[in-house]
Each structure stands twice: as C-alpha cells, then as structure tokens.
Amino acid sequence: MNNVKQRAKEAVEKFLNARPSQPLKHNGDKALNRLQGYLKESVLVENAHLSSKTHKSLSLAAANFYYDINVSPEEPVDQIDSLLVGRRIAEIMQSRMTVLIAGKFGLFNSTIGTDLGFRGDMFDSLELKKRVLISAAMQHFGIEGNTVLTNDLWDDPYYWHLVANLYNSRSSLPSQRAYSDIETRVDFSAIPVSQLRNIPPEVFDLLSREKATTLYSIAEIAESLYLKEKHSVILKIGPKAEEEYDKYIQNSLDTIHLFQPTDLRSTTAKPRPVTPYILRQGEEKTRLIFTDQEKQVYEKIQKFSTEAQPLFYAGTIHPILRLLAFVDEAEHIAGNVPRTADQILSKPLAKSSVRKGEHEEKELYMRMRSSLQAIALAVEKTIIAPIRELIGYEK
C-alpha cells in the first residue's frame, strides 16, 4: 500500500475510533474563557460545541477554523455572518480562517439528463467569482486566512482515498437522509472523470455504481478530515441547517452553529428561512445583495413588519436584529465608538441585554424599526460599499 493510501486509511480509522468530546466548562485559560463568553453573548451564534480539541489546539497556537460555502449567481449579504463571527474568533484565538468554496460538490446532486461537463465548468466559474467576493470581505474585515476551491481538494488523491475509506466504512457512519427522488439522480459513474480531477481509477470504480447524491455526506466528512490535516483546522463554523452534516464530524472537529437567516419579510407567524450563501430565484427583492446601494437597502428593509415582533423566535433571530449585529461586528473591527447598536438600543448588543422576554423584545424591535434609515446607512457604509469597492463592482 502506498503512503497516500496508508495515510488516508489511518486517518479514517482514527476518526471512526474517536468519540465526540464532552463540552468544555470554564477553566483558567483566559483565551478559552473569552471565546466561550463571546459565543454565549453573540446574537448571531445559536450554539457552540467546544471540547478539549479546541483547548489543546489553543495551547499549540493551532486552533484554525473553516467555513464551508456554496456558490450563487448573485451574492447575498447574509453570508458574511460566519466571516464576522470568525473574525472575532480569530482575534481571540490568534488563529486563521479557511473558507472552502464547495459549489462543485453540487455535481453529486445532479439529475439524470444534465450535461455534467457543462455543469462542472459552470461551478468552476462560479467558485472563482465567489473567491473574489470572499477575498475582498476577508481583506475588508482584516481576516487572516485563505480560500480553498473544490478542485484544490479534488486535485489531491489523498482526498479521494479519504472518501474511499469512509465509503468502505459507511456502516459505521450515521444513517443518511432518504431521498424521495433518488431514481432521478445521476450515478457517480456519470460524472466525467475530467471533472473529478485527480481521482484515482480504483476510487472511481469503487464509487461508480452509487447514486452520487448518497455520497454527499461522505464527501463532507472527507472534506473536514482533509482540512484538519492540511490547514490545521479544529473548528467548523456555519449555519444551523448544517447540523445534519456536522453531526458526522464531531468526532474530528468542534462546531459552531449560527442562527439560520430569514428573508426580510419573516415574521413569527411565517418564518422564511434562507441559505446564507445562496440567493435563489425571486429572493433578490427580499434579501440584501452586494450590488445594492443605500437607497435599495433602505427600500428592502422597509419590508420589516410594522407590527412589533419578538427578536428571537422559531429557532432563529429576526432579520432586523441580524442586520444590526452585522453592523455592530463591522464597527467593532473598525474601532468605531459609539457604535450604531449602542445608539439605537441604548445598551450593548448582546444576548443578555436583548433576550429579555417577548414584551421587551417587541419594544426593542420597534426602536430598531424606527431607525431603519440609520441601519441602512450603516450597512452600506461599513459592509456593502467597502467590499463592493474592493471587488470593483462600481468600475
């Protein structure tokens, strides 16, 4: 067995034999306690699973983390949530952030009859476009780290041997979701080998008879194992909806889940969850995008309900609170004093100060609702305009 195959086999065996570590409690480590305090108070963070893995990595100055995102024809502002929280984490832990742009994994979910060569090339193009945006955002927010594309993984046979070993051990993995339309999905063998880059022939043959979509979770686990080894990653950050996949990887990495975003029309009666890094058809009118000017931002956020709303509901937060949190994090990075949230709320923006029960939350909502012009200006000034300028959208 060659060295690459042996390393992959050992990495998967170690992963399968591990057990999720117990959550850490406060201890004498100042950086860890500061990190836990921030994650507890951030209104963007739904939950965090930190274990001895993070504690040990902190002492070795190797507690890097990653954010896994998809591609989109147009770019929603919602996707900066993990970048802003990640910036705080990096500030506390003196660590680096890896952003994996994994749109090409969408080939696995293709339906029969799709031109997979064209679709793969399209994903390559969209990933390069997304890299420009994310690199500009990381530069603007002062985030140390790098971006990784799907092909960076797929060019490495080691990644594919991780996939193969996980596939051979799939009976030891949690059950995958059931697909009602499984018969309409492509077999793995239908994906052109050229799109899979440097996949070893024996791995392609091993997977060829499977429906490609059933391999998606295995590919995600392999991704986390690969980034852990290649980029010293010990934490994964992302939206709450990724819990389905993240439950597989907690043997290997700690996880931080952010509240799932909703579109601007969302109310307690009708929550409208969205994917932070994908803008679907029709959402351009109800979500902020990076080509919006201040006037468009203001017009869009006027869709917020005129009736008082709680700030925390249906397992998420109201989009008005989310936007104000974005501004607050951006102003923290810039060193702005006083911050917009302080002026609107007359208190710091933290869970302990705004999660006070429905009556008080509704009062805070109406205070924010009456400050839409100030919020729109702050969103444009601290987030959209600087990133748009770095990209060159206005040129």
Q: What is the pLDDT of residue 395?
A: 46
Q: Report the C-alpha gap between 121 and 110 in whole angstroms.
A: 14
Closest CA to 320 of 275, 381, 283, 365: 365
Average pLDDT over all residues of the chain = 93
* pTM, to two decimals: 0.94
Could you tell me which of 59, 16, 62, 55 has the C-alpha nearest to residue 36? 55
Residue 349 sits at φ, ψ, to 5 deg, of -85, 105
- For 120-178, write each residue's pLDDT tens digit: 999 999 999 999 999 999 999 999 999 999 999 999 999 999 999 999 999 988 777 77
Which of 385, 383, 282, 395 is closest to 79 using CA atoms? 383
Res 394 pLDDT > 60: no
**What proportion of the chain, given as a percentage, has pLDDT over 90?**
80
Asked whether the beta carbons of 348 and 332 are under 8 A apart, the reply is: no
Q: Angle at Cα 256 formed by Cα 331 and Cα 224, nearest 5°?
A: 120
Contacts 24+ apart (CB under 8 A), 384-387: 384/77, 384/288, 384/290, 384/292, 384/297, 386/140, 387/133, 387/136, 387/137, 387/140, 387/290
Q: Where in the chain is the domain with CATH 3.40.50.620?
A: 3-258
Residue 322 tokens, joined: 């989310």
Q: What is the DSSP string of 285-338?
A: GTS-BTT--HHHHHHHHTTS-SS---SEETTEE-HHHHHHHHHHHHHHHHT-SS
Return the beta strands (E) in the chain as ranges. Answer: 45-49, 64-69, 97-101, 145-149, 233-239, 254-258, 312-313, 316-317
With 90 as the cut, is the pLDDT of residue 1 above it?
no
Assigned architecture for domain 3-258: 3-Layer(aba) Sandwich (3.40)
pLDDT single digits (tens) 264-285: 998 888 899 999 999 999 999 9
pLDDT digits (tens, 9 = 90+) for 60-106: 666 799 999 999 999 999 999 999 999 999 999 889 999 999 999 99
End-to-end CA separation in angstroms for the chain: 54
Task: Identify the sign of the CA torsion 121, 230, 39, 247.
Answer: positive
pLDDT at position 59: 67
pLDDT in tens, 30-49: 888 899 999 999 999 999 99
Q: 86 is written with which tokens? A: 């990640």
